[in-house]
Structure 1
């Protein structure tokens, strides 16, 4: 499957764009998973294995936080244009809605003085004071603040720690048995991320600094998962909400996500997901993780491209990587177009 995409991924790995990768193609009933390169370079070298556990960073937003919001919506417990403050009274800005947060159109002013010196309680208090700007609802500006605040809202509704909610409502029903938050760093399957300035190599410790501080209360990052579990989540989407014959999300909910949900209707984002177009401009669901991960889902064709790399290990060269990642995606989309137009 997808020989041209396979070739460019191999080239990028050999060029050092990422030390190693586990990636999967799904097309109809066919699946192909490939493992390449090294899981770890420092302080020792280890080969990449198919069951490797990755810190998937912002994929947490769509796998966990967005999924919880969709389930609440199906249960008529929330409305997308409902102000966050109605559900999280501690939040000060009464203008920002759930739609704003999930489509990154809140124009929330995210500067927090001395943020890196705050503990979890102080950081939570600071997020509750943030205000929207003059472009509320009009511009898409990606930010972690939206899912962090939605995480606080979920804790308010459920009166539980966020990671416990995610475990009970998502990971367990979808049988994502390898996935976890705050893992044991000694788990041999965990792929390390960045080498910090003090020489410490993060392994089993959340890469995102905000989620690292918020720990079990973070809705923006912190999920550790592997390809096997990621495919379980993906298949639910590709089956329009069905898992092993049981309805997890309604088919109409998945279909609803395949359209622009920004307030203007022209921002190119759905709820939680980025929208990408295929060669016929049919919408695809896309999301990335800072650590070198992404998901590209096409429910209408029952196809997907899942990518788990350790591109921040041991050093973060973000701008260079983004260009290389987009080249891989372009090759895949061209190859997918040719495949489905046969």
Structure 2
């Protein structure tokens, strides 16, 4: 059955807003997968395939970093209203809390002089020196800085690099066999942008800070397939329960994500997740810069998973953002399972 969402995605590909897309509608344990368009258009046109891996960009935040943090919150190893400095003394600002970072209300000034000239060590040291303003808790500004800092925190707690933590705590328990962090086999991966400095990026993360920080970056660097993203979304959609009945996250943990955790409760920001509130329900929502997003409803057990490499071969960000928002609206208005 073709949906209104399918028709719109076909048009996005025809209009060259994105080369192709792998996406799925989830309801209960039922899954409808779709594959449209191409893996790449440069240097040659290659058809899309069902096992294609994508640079997940900021979906790394919710699929990996945030999931590990939720587990730490469940076991009381973290308190969301404690300062990051308390757990990570290397971060000099003592006023920023875990809640601020998770809801993007930290008011940290992310500017780093000559950032693109810094190596991994220097970039990490610079991020640890960033400071917040008095607008902390009062404004919401989406940034990767907070999640990078939370990644440093995870490494401090586990005394291990993020690639090992993500593999042990999320990737292997969820049986995400095709998912990798930092790099991906280029033949199996959708390329991203054509750049002057790096050429066509493929198999290495598109995000510039994540490219430098590599295994120490909590904001980007994940590569995954539609099937593996479905596995993660199913876990969230089924309130933390895996197909074999194992409880990965507590039901309470996931249902409580439907609450606005921002200090003023005015920004529709949960712990790591954005919230889309409609007349009938609240959705957990997150996007990735490269053209990925997930929408999850853990109450009615449904989701929409969308993976694309929309920055290939060139980044048409402003146009894409408008079209993406229209795509989500079409899905919500026409194709949400009843």
* Structure 2 unmatched runs, 5+: none
CA offsets, 1:118-146, max 9 Å, x none?
00000000000100112100111000000
Distance in 2 separating the partners of 1:193 and 1:240:
33
Q: 1:115 and 1:103, CA in 2 relative to 1: closer, same or farther beyond 3 A?
A: same
1:41-99 Cα distance to aligned partner (Å, 9 max, x none) = 11122111111000010000000010011000111101000100011011000000000
Distance 1:154 1:199 in 2: 30
Q: Using the TM superposition, give the Cα deviation of residue 201 of structure 1 relative to its aligned residue in structure 2, in angstroms.
A: 0.3
> Aligned partners of 2:35 and 2:167: how far apart in 1?
27
Specify the alignment match of 2:160 in structure 1.
160
Whole-angstrom CA distance in 1 between matches of 2:320 and 2:224: 22
Q: Distance in 1 between matches of 2:198 and 2:90?
A: 39
TM-score by length of 1: 0.96
Q: What residue in structure 2 maps to residue 290 of structure 1?
A: 289
Partner of 1:94: 94
Q: Given that residues 279 and 334 in structure 1 are in contact (C-alpha distance below 8 angstroms), is that contact kept between their aligned partners in structure 2?
A: no
What secondary structure, in the 3-state scheme, does the structure 2 residue paired with 1:242 have? Answer: coil
* d(CA) in 2 for partners of 1:148, 1:211: 9
The answer to whether the Cα contact below 8 Å between 2:137 and 2:263 also exists between their aligned partners in 1 is yes
User: Which residue matches 1:264?
Assistant: 264
Distance 1:294 1:205 in 2: 19
Q: d(CA) in 2 for partners of 1:184 and 1:23? A: 20
Q: Where does residue 52 of structure 2 map in the other structure?
A: 52
C-alpha separation in 1, matches of 2:45 and 2:11: 20
The size of the alignment, in residue pairs, is 337
Instruction: Give per-residue Cα distances to partners, 1:2-39, cap 9 Å, x unaligned.
Output: 61111111111111110010010012232111101110
User: Comparing 318-327 with 27-36, which one deviates more in the overlay?
Assistant: 27-36
Q: Which range is displaced more, 118-127 or 4-13? A: 4-13
Alpha-carbon deviation of 1:183?
2.6
TM-score by length of 2: 0.97
Q: Distance in 1 between matches of 2:163 and 2:29?
A: 32
Tell me how far 1:198 sits from its aligned partner: 4.0
SS of residue paired to 2:141:
coil
Q: 1:2 to 1:303 in 2, by over 3 A?
A: farther
Question: RMSD across aligned C-alpha pairs, in angstroms?
Answer: 1.2
Counterpart for residue 273 of structure 1: 273
Moved over 4 A (4+): none
* Correspondence for 1:193: 192
How do residues 146-185 of structure 1 correspond to structure 2 at under 5 angstroms? 146-185=146-185
Equivalence map 1:104-253=2 (5 Å): 104-186=104-186, 188-198=187-197, 200-243=199-242, 244-253=244-253
Alpha-carbon separation, structure 2, partners of 1:205 and 1:64: 18
Runs of 5+ unmatched residues, structure 1: none
